[in-house]
Amino acid sequence: MATQLEQLKQYTTVVADTGDFRQMEEFSPQDATTNPSLILAAAAKPEYRPIIEAVVASFRGSPLQGEALMGAMMNKVIVAFGLEILKRVPGRVSSEVDARLSFDTEGTVKKAREIMALYEQAGIPRERVLIKIASTWEGIQAARVLEQEGIHCNLTLLFSLVQAVACAEAGVRLISPFVGRILDWYRAATGAEYTAETDPGVVSVRSIYQYYKKFGYPVQIMGASFRNKGEVLALAGCDLLTISPSLLAELAASDEPVVPVLSPETAKASTVERVPADEKSFRFLFNEDAMATEKTAEGIRRFSADIRKLEALLASML
């Protein structure tokens, strides 16, 4: 009997949600995605220390100083981990722009170009890299510019339909709605427990899936930030799912049947209505959603804090 992981791969592209690229070999995902927190966690492990040390050594004696030096080092660390990941997955790696640029369109575009240039210098084609950007209005507009240049984007920290609609209108390649963090907010706000079917994060991703398929947007949807296996299985059939190694192990250890839940055919029959996504509508509708505004802000703060920790580690080694 096929494992749940093997069955899930028949309906959905499975992506490893980790900076620990050695764990990827065990589960054979198609793609992999990272963020500052995952890279920081991996960098703390002795087996990955040589990657960090090699990057730091390459900057000793550099004429760059201050923010320019740290920015260049961070770019190289991100790409160094990405290159190792690409040796282990046949598809794409998602590499994240500095979260502190989440409200800076021009800064995000500049940083994304720098990261992509390093990948291209290493011989990696653009089709194998996704630039991760927070789903703020400014981030979405940066993605619009980058997509027109052939630099494909993964819009992350996405918690609401209006964010997803704005991403689709901007022509982004992929979005990452955060399932588990939505559940976290509703648990804290209501004190209630939820089944996989009533899980607010699952419901949110299903609504985005229906919207995209009904109105013919080619944007790929990658459910992310799962808290349990039930959330994953409740989205079987989604374009992609990025799953932590611990949950991948749970899926690999079970042979219970997996039933596809989402399909373009059923989505097209939904009664979902169009949502306006011009800047004024976006800012108002996003502001009306307390969960989405709070979780987006929290995610930016957390990623920014971990970037500062990673910078401190590099500075101490330099």
pLDDT digits (tens, 9 = 90+) for 94-143: 999 999 999 999 999 999 999 999 999 999 999 999 999 999 999 999 99
pLDDT of amino acid 298: 97
pLDDT of amino acid 178: 96
pLDDT of amino acid 30: 93
pLDDT of amino acid 213: 97
Give me the phi and psi of 131, to 5 degrees please. Answer: -90, 120
**Residue 87 bears catalytic tag:** no
pLDDT of amino acid 170: 98
pLDDT tens digits, residue range 146-157?
Answer: 999 999 999 999
Long-range contacts of 252-256 (CB under 8 A, 24+ apart): 252/3, 252/4, 252/5, 252/27, 253/3, 254/3, 254/4, 254/229, 255/1, 255/2, 255/3, 255/4, 256/4
- Spatial contact of 85 and 93, defined as CB atoms under 8 Å apart: yes
| Other CB atoms within 10 Å distance of the CB of residue 274 | 9
User: Active-site residue among 9, 76, 111, 132?
Assistant: 132
Indicate the SS3 state at residue 47: helix
Pick the more confident residue, 39 or 229.
Answer: 229
pLDDT of amino acid 273: 93
Structural domain for 116, as ranges = 4-317
Distance set, CA 138 to CA 103, 159, 275 (Å): 5, 16, 19
Q: Helix 49-58 to helix 66-86 angle, to the nearest 10 degrees?
A: 140
Residue corresponding to tokens 């990658």:
222
pLDDT of amino acid 73: 95
The pTM assigned to this predicted structure is 0.95
Comparing C-alpha atoms, which of 103, 101, 46 is closest to residue 75? Answer: 101
- Spatial contact of 281 and 162, defined as CB atoms under 8 Å apart: yes
CA 189/CA 83 separation, integer angstroms: 41
pLDDT of amino acid 3: 97
What kind and span of H or E run contains 194? none
pLDDT of amino acid 26: 84
CA 218/CA 215 separation, integer angstroms: 9
How many domains would you assign to the chain?
1
pLDDT tens digits, residue range 201-213?
Answer: 999 999 999 999 9
pLDDT of amino acid 312: 94
* Sheet strands (E) in 207-271: 220-223, 240-243
CA 34/CA 50 separation, integer angstroms: 19
Question: Would the pLDDT of 37 be above 90?
Answer: no
Question: Would the pLDDT of 268 be above 90?
Answer: no
Total length of the chain: 318
| Mean pLDDT in residue range 162-188 | 98
pLDDT of amino acid 231: 97
pLDDT tens digits, residue range 3-12?
Answer: 999 999 999 9
**What percent of the chain stands above pLDDT 70?**
100
Give the CATH number of the domain where residue 174 resides: 3.20.20.70
